Amino acid sequence: KELGMEKDDKETLIEKYRKKLAEYPSIPEEINEIIESEMDKFSHLEKNSAEFNITRTYLDWLTNIPWGVVTTENFNITSARRVLDRDHYGMDEVKETILQFIAVGKLKGSVQGKILCLAGPPGVGKTSIAESVA
């Protein structure tokens, strides 16, 4: 609490985390215990310690997962092709792999437990193509 500030950064961050968690419909009990434990640890850490930033990043990650939010899967291959072609020029092999992934999911009825890994150097479009697919 420096220079007349009422709250320090840690308190503000913990409030932000609690507010974010309150938005989710249901958080599993074991996950909630881990989050509370990490917030308690975070409140006792010094700002300059390496553990402070590690714990902060972990809490950022934990509070940004959409706990209890479920969406229906969309296996419309024609729509996916249209979106990929509209948003991304070239990248034909990547787009074909994504469409195959969607087609297999459509045949099986789910892509639960499957991960599609996009690898490559910075700036080649991994994030933007993933956002298009989502």
Query: In the structure encoding, which two tokens stand for residue 79, read together?
Result: 């729509």
Which pTM value belongs to this model?
Answer: 0.59
pLDDT at 8 exceeding the cut of 70: no
19-23, 42-46, 114-118: segment of lowest average pLDDT: 114-118
User: What does the alpha-carbon distance between residue 134 and residue 20 come to, in Å, rounded to a whole number?
Assistant: 22
Instruction: Output the pLDDT for position 1.
Output: 47
* 133 Cβ contact partners less than 8 Å away, ≥ 6 residues apart: 80, 83, 84, 98, 116
Higher-scoring residue by pLDDT: 134, 78? 78
pLDDT digits (tens, 9 = 90+) for 73-82: 788 889 989 9
User: What does the alpha-carbon distance between residue 90 and residue 85 come to, in Å, rounded to a whole number?
Assistant: 8
User: What does the alpha-carbon distance between residue 46 and residue 81 come to, in Å, rounded to a whole number?
Assistant: 50
Percent of the chain with pLDDT over 90: 26
pLDDT digits (tens, 9 = 90+) for 46-65: 888 889 999 999 999 999 88
The DSSP secondary-structure symbol of 49 reads S
- Count other C-beta atoms under 10 Å from residue 65's C-beta: 11
User: Could you give the C-alpha distances from 116 to 10, 92, 113, 119, in angstroms and in order?
Assistant: 36, 16, 10, 10
Residues recorded for the chain: 134
pLDDT at 37 exceeding the cut of 90: yes
pLDDT digits (tens, 9 = 90+) for 13-34: 899 999 998 888 888 899 989 9
CB 132, CB 118: distance < 8 Å: no
